[in-house]
């Protein structure tokens, strides 16, 4: 069985056409990207099937918490790396109004 697991954006920069750690906020495309990866029921079920040898409420909850924590950690890292860009762009937008 092939498994699709959560892929962090950081180690795979070739998957995107921009730098997640230096977003160009003047680009509507880059500005529209999600800071946090979605966690769908489908993705969770695939990860449960791939990662858990025993499936019960405790192990499924632990898998969910790990998936959620991973996404939040990655979003925080992307946010921190782009904080200067975010502040600068927001200030420029306010000054243009």
**Can you tell me the distance from the alpha carbon of 93 to that of 91, in angstroms, rounded to the nearest whole number?**
5
Query: Is residue 15 predicted with pLDDT exceeding 70?
Result: no
Question: Under DSSP, is residue 42 helix (H, G, I), strand (E, B) or coil?
Answer: helix
The single-letter DSSP state of residue 91 is: H
Higher pLDDT, 59 or 9: 59
**Can you tell me the distance from the alpha carbon of 87 to that of 93, in angstroms, rounded to the nearest whole number?**
10
Predicted TM-score of the model (pTM): 0.76
Cα end-to-end distance, the chain, whole Å: 55
Average pLDDT, the chain: 86
Per-residue model confidence (pLDDT) at position 94: 92
- Domains of the chain, residue spans: 24-96
Helices (H) and strands (E) counted in the chain, each on its own, are 3, 0
pLDDT digits (tens, 9 = 90+) for 56-77: 999 999 999 999 999 999 999 9
């Amino acid at each position: 069985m092939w498994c699709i697991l959560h892929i962090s954006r950081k180690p795979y920069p070739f998957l995107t056409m921009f730098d997640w750690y230096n977003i160009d906020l003047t680009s509507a495309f880059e500005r529209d990207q999600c800071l946090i990866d979605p966690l769908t029921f489908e993705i969770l079920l695939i990860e449960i099937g791939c990662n858990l040898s025993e499936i019960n409420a405790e192990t499924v909850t632990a898998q969910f918490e790990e998936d959620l924590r991973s996404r939040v950690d990655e979003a925080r890292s992307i946010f921190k790396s782009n904080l200067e860009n975010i502040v600068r762009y927001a200030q420029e937008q306010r000054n243009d109004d």
